[in-house]
Amino acid sequence: MTIQKRIAMVSEHAGPIALLGGVDAGGQNVHLDELSRNLGSLGYAVDIFTRRDDPKLPEVVDWAPGVRVIHVNAGPVQTIPKDDIWPHMAEFTGGMLTFMLRSGARYDLLHGHFWMSGWAVARLRQRLQLPAVQIFHATGITKRHHQGAADTSPPERIAVERRIVNEVDCMIAQCPAEQHELVIDYGADPGRVMIIPSAVNTRRFRPIDRAAARRAIGLPLDDIPTIVYVGRMLPRKDVRNLLYAAAELIHARAMPVRLLLVGGHVSGDPNAGEVGVLQALAAELRISEHTIFFGQRQPDQLYRYYCAADVAVSTPWYESYGLTPLEAMACGRPIIVSAVGGLTFTVQHGQTGLHVPPQAPQHLAAALHDLLSRPDRGAEMGRKARRRVEREFTWATTAHRTAALYESLLNGQTQAVATAEQARSVGERAPWMGD
């Protein structure tokens, strides 16, 4: 009889239960959910430890076959910004240990997500003598580089990340750009950084006919070229860039496009966060009647929004990886992305979409004009995009690769898990990384 291996996933602010699309809930929540479910299907028992942010949440939730969510008390039992969680991480780590002692749950391996849980995992690794894997999802150095004074991360973040890099057995990078950050910015040993791309649920995100999709979300069946953005509404996602590009198409190039903006909280208050800023900007650019703010939508509805459009756009200032481009691709739609971070890895320029420089609305307008004036080209890119995700970016594949990493660590191979090819790629500076 094979003994089921137990994995402790640790993700202080992003559990699968959280509503997606809010300010602090996004790709990491999806990642936890999909990876854990797929590891559950492979026979692992996965417990996801996350901070309790609502008194109604029970301590243990049976989430999916083989997957439980364990809510740990740490700090106020309410939603708080993720950058305010750090002072509560000692309590969180203690709460995890207490749960393990009280319930008798024994784990074979620890897997940390984001820097704060990485800190918890590095401490527990020592205490419990267990192998530890870490995935950062985003790093403090890159954030500080792009956000400067607007970065609200605790000042300890980068020093803590350096410690985690030295202490865990292995790190997962989702793409070469993330691997590069870990090795070059943090001095990680390339032999301990494994590239395992994150993925998309290809059953949930699937191509459907554009007319059916439009009917489902209440759009008219006209010929107006339609562009979709899906994601959190944050300044760094730069949806403003898309509004400027749309204004140029509509006013300067006489192409009357429609914008579908999905994500964030729509309140009608112009002072309410990024959506308020975007609404005011749309009015200023005289494109309000071309722009629909849908607000946050649940993941199982999103395929309709992608499929209602002719092209998807995601042009953040920077992006560690980015799941939404994969979702657009899985829906058989071409995507225009800024040439930053993981986006140049998942989207192939000229094949499954187009790359444009970040913060350059004229370039985005030109790329949109190009794709929207040649619908056949866009449709062909969409077909290729779907084939690409089916081949390269399913969560089943991600889980298999993660399981292979776990097994190598459990068999005592704590070093040299990355292939020689991956290790070599680290030294080369890819063109999109800049100086």
Span interacting with ligand UDP, options 151-159, 316-324, 358-366, 426-434, rule CB under 6 A: 316-324
Contact between 140 and ligand UDP (CB under 6 A)? no
**Nearest distance, CB of residue 326 and ligand UDP, angstroms:** 8
**Nearest distance, CB of residue 234 and ligand UDP, angstroms:** 8
Query: Which C-beta is closer to ligand UDP: that of 30 or that of 249?
Result: 30
Contact between 262 and ligand UDP (CB under 6 A)? yes
Contact between 26 and ligand UDP (CB under 6 A)? yes
Contact between 177 and ligand UDP (CB under 6 A)? no
**Contacts with ligand UDP in 362-421 (CB under 6 A)?**
none
The CB-nearest residue to ligand UDP is 26
**Nearest distance, CB of residue 17 and ligand UDP, angstroms:** 13
**Nearest distance, CB of residue 153 and ligand UDP, angstroms:** 15
**Nearest distance, CB of residue 104 and ligand UDP, angstroms:** 35
Query: Which C-beta is closer to ligand UDP: that of 21 or that of 66?
Result: 21
Q: Using alpha carbons, select from 98, 100, 92, 95 the residue that is nearest to residue 47.
A: 100
Contact between 16 and ligand UDP (CB under 6 A)? no
Contact between 341 and ligand UDP (CB under 6 A)? no
Chain Cα centroid distance, residue 90 = 26
Query: Which C-beta is closer to ligand UDP: that of 191 or that of 273?
Result: 273
Contact between 299 and ligand UDP (CB under 6 A)? yes
Give CA–CA dist 342/347, Å, rounded.
9
Give CA–CA dist 198/138, Å, rounded.
13
Contact between 296 and ligand UDP (CB under 6 A)? yes
Contacts of 344 (CB under 8 A, 6+ apart): 177, 337, 355, 430, 432
Contact between 79 and ligand UDP (CB under 6 A)? no
Give CA–CA dist 204/351, Å, rounded.
23
> Which of 66, 95, 231, 334 touches ligand UDP (CB under 6 A)?
231
Contact between 30 and ligand UDP (CB under 6 A)? yes
Interaction site with ligand UDP (CB under 6 A): 20-21, 26-28, 30, 230-232, 262-263, 296-297, 299, 302, 322-324, 327
